[in-house]
Amino acid sequence: MTTDVKPLVFENREGMRLMGILHRPVDYRRDIGVLILSPGIKSRVAPHRLYVKMANKFSNMGFSVLRFDPHGIGDSEGDVEERMAADFYGTVQVGRFVNDTIDAMDWMQREVGITRFVLTGLCGGAITGLLAGAMDRRVHMLMGLGMPVTLDNAKTDQTRYMTWGQLHDVRGTYLRKLLDPKAWGRFLTLKSDYRLILKSVATKRNNHGSRPRMNWTIQDAVRDDLRAEKSGASNNLNPYFPIAFHSMLESRRVTLIFSGADRLHWEFEEKYLGSHAKEFRRLQGNLDMHVIEKANHVLTFKEWQDEMLAILASGLERFVEPGGTMHVS
pTM summary value: 0.79
Whether residue 75 is contained in a domain is answered as yes
Q: What is the DSSP string of 90-143?
A: HHHHTTTTHHHHHHHHHHHHHHH---EEEEEEETHHHHHHHHHHHH-TTEEEEE
Whether residue 208 is contained in a domain is answered as no
Given a contact cutoff of 8 angstroms between Cβ atoms, the answer to whether 297 and 265 are in contact is no
Q: How many Cβ atoms sit within 10 Å of the Cβ of residue 314?
A: 12
Containing structural domain, residue 291: 3-155+225-319
Q: What is the mean pLDDT of each run of 10 residues along the chain (329 residues)?
A: 90 96 85 94 90 96 95 92 86 93 97 95 97 95 96 65 59 76 74 66 53 44 47 69 95 96 90 91 94 96 98 90 61
- The CATH number that applies at residue 132 is 3.40.50.1820
Tell me what pLDDT residue 40 has: 87
Tell me what pLDDT residue 161 has: 52
Whether residue 262 is contained in a domain is answered as yes
Tell me what pLDDT residue 7 has: 96
Whether residue 124 is contained in a domain is answered as yes
Residue 139 CB partners (closer than 8 Å, separation 6+): 105, 117, 118, 119, 129, 132, 133, 248, 252
Whether residue 65 is contained in a domain is answered as yes
Whether residue 311 is contained in a domain is answered as yes
Tell me what pLDDT residue 218 has: 43
Per the structure, how many domains does the chain have? 1
Whether residue 234 is contained in a domain is answered as yes
Whether residue 115 is contained in a domain is answered as yes
